[in-house]
Structure 1
Amino acid sequence: MSKNKKVKPVSFNKTKEKDVKMLRHLEGMNFGGYVKDLIWADIQKKESALKIAQKSEKGGIKIVVGR
């Protein structure tokens, strides 16, 4: 394996209902690509500048920046 790669294994317990459900969901998928897409989506969500925009009853706008 290339020294430029880092492996992060994930274990699933086949006796736990939640893990079994996840394993069924992953059947036939590219697991590594799926995990990377989920991580990237989480990063993008956290980095987005405007988190919440609400319009008040009086017409004002409330914007919360950051988390």
Structure 2
Amino acid sequence: MKVRVDEDKCCGFAACLSTAPELFDIDDDQIAVVLVDGEVPERLHGCARDAAQACPTDAIVVEE
């Protein structure tokens, strides 16, 4: 599984950070960034899906 942020959709609500702080942070421009480069560890797959569902702008993209 891979996770990415659609920067054009992200508005900095930080729902992803609240839901999955192991996977996301917010940069200086208030845009979410993924902290894991490449494949998401299996133990965090549920967190990635939860973050995608929590995002009010659908900016979190999970690629299974």
**TM-score higher than 0.5 here?**
no
Return the TM-score normalized by structure 2: 0.25
Q: Which has the higher strand share?
A: 2
Return the TM-score normalized by structure 1: 0.24
Q: Which has the higher helix share?
A: 1
Larger radius of gyration: 1
Q: Which has the higher contact order (CA 8 A, sep 6+)?
A: 2
